[in-house]
Amino acid sequence: MNTKSLRFKIVDAVYIAMMILPIVFGIVLQVLTDPATEGITITGAKIFFEIPMPLQNFVITESQVNSAIALIVILFFCLFITHGISEKIELKRQHFAEMIVEKVDNLVEENMGSYFSAYSPFIIAIMALSAVSSLLSLFGLFAPTSDINIVAGWAILVFILITYYKMKCGPLYYLKGFTEPVAFLTPLNVIGEIATPISMAFRHYGNVLSGSVISALLCSALAGLSAKLLGWLPGFLADMPLLQVGIPAVLSIYLDIFSGCLQAFIFAMLTMLYIAGGFPAEEYEKRKARKRAKNKN
Residue by residue, DSSP assigns 109-151 as HHHH-GGGGGGHHHHHHHHHHHHHHHHGGGGTPPPGGGSHHHH
Each residue of 49-95: pLDDT tens digit?
Answer: 888 888 888 888 999 999 999 999 999 999 999 988 887 777 888 88
Average pLDDT, the chain: 84
Q: Is 45 helix (H, G, I), strand (E, B) or coil?
A: coil
Residue 215 near residue 252, CB atoms below 8 Å: yes
Each residue of 91-108: pLDDT tens digit?
Answer: 888 888 999 999 999 999
Chain centroid offset of residue 169 CA: 31
DSSP 232: T
The pLDDT, as a whole number, for residue 280 is 85
Residue 41 phi/psi, 5° resolution?
-130, 135
Task: Tally the domains of the chain.
Answer: 1
- In this predicted structure, the answer to whether residue 242 has a pLDDT above a threshold of 80 is no
Rounded Cα distance between 4 and 232, Å, is 64
Number of other CB atoms surrounding residue 203 within 10 Å: 16
Rounded Cα distance between 63 and 31, Å, is 16
Closest CA to 85 of 96, 76, 73, 74: 96
DSSP 258: I
For the ranges 40-44, 57-61, 77-81, 260-264, the lowest mean pLDDT is seen at 40-44
Structural domain that includes position 210? 3-296
Which whole number is the average pLDDT over 209-215? 77
Q: Residue 264 is which amino acid? A: A
